[in-house]
Amino acid sequence: MHGPDRDFWQQRFAQRQTPWDRGAPGPRLLQWIEEGTLTGGEHVAVPGCGSGHDVLALARAGCEVVGIDYAEAAIALTRERLAQAGVEAALVTSDVLQWQPARPLDAVYEQTCWCALHPDHWVAYAAQLELWLRPGGRLLLMAMQCLRDGAAVGRIEGPPYHMDINAVRALLPAARWEWPAPPYARVPHPAGWSELPLALVRR
Ligand SMILES: C[S@@+](CC[C@H](N)C(=O)[O-])C[C@H]1O[C@@H](n2cnc3c(N)ncnc32)[C@H](O)[C@@H]1O
């Protein structure tokens, strides 16, 4: 399989080369919490949780959060962040392509884990997201928009890998997911790209 592996991400954290890290929770996540799209008591997963800002925000909102990351350095940073805040969440060092929740999830907050996976893994990852969520559960997906010139001649470049809306729709088809109508308000990303916030419901 192609794309970055666990060591790649582990080294990025160890060398503090984490340009994707906002140093704060995602602004759209905070809005979803404020709007009540995510509410206290819900069982929520954050795949590829990185240094844990989003895990902390969800735990503070009263959600029963599980942060998953296969880079031990990421999990260590998240654990430290939670301890400093005196807040609890479950943390799992695992590959998101293998992990399964003990019981179905109410929601998944997907913030730049999907775009960190080579497209060879996208079919398997989309299947995981569907399997994790209960019917009626929500996938809050920040779809990375980072189209590069090489795509015009067929190059697959990343991470981050561009999440073309047509590819996302094919992997999360309307027959199995309720899609809100576009346009979606793009959210700027610290690495210079932007993200499309998609709040989907698993049918
Ligand atoms: C671009 S970072 C994003 C981190 C965090 N979500 C954020 O926005 O700051 C991608 C994260 O996904 C993790 N990751 C990538 N592939 C993974 C996999 N197959 N299983 C678990 N974690 C993975 C990396 O270790 C890294 O922490």
CB-ligand 1 contact for 57 (6 Å cutoff)? no
Phi-psi region of 58 (alpha: psi -120 to 50; beta: other; left: phi over 0): alpha
Counting ligand 1 atoms within 8 A of each CB, the residue from 8, 112, 113 with the most, and so the one to mutate, is: 113
Helix or strand holding residue 68 (H, E) = strand 64-69
47/67 Cα distance (integer angstroms): 6
Write down the pLDDT at residue 181. 97
Averaged over 147-168, what is the pLDDT?
A: 97
CB-ligand 1 contact for 115 (6 Å cutoff)? no
Write down the pLDDT at residue 155. 97
Averaged over 84-99, what is the pLDDT?
A: 98
CB-ligand 1 contact for 89 (6 Å cutoff)? no
Q: What is the pLDDT of residues 38-80, one digit of tens each?
A: 999 999 999 999 999 999 999 999 999 999 999 999 999 999 9
Write down the pLDDT at residue 49. 98
Q: What is the pLDDT of residues 102-140, one digit of tens each?
A: 999 999 999 999 999 999 999 999 999 999 999 999 999
Let me know: does 158 contact 112? Beta carbons within 8 Å.
Answer: no
Confidence of residue 153 (pLDDT cuts 50, 70, 90): very high
Residue listed under structure tokens 């992997």:
171
Q: With a cut of 90, say whether residue 190 has pLDDT above it.
A: no
Write down the pLDDT at residue 1. 66
Write down the pLDDT at residue 71. 98
Residue listed under structure tokens 């981050």:
160
Angle of helix 6-14 versus helix 72-85 axis, rounded to 10:
50
Arithmetic mean of pLDDT over the chain: 97
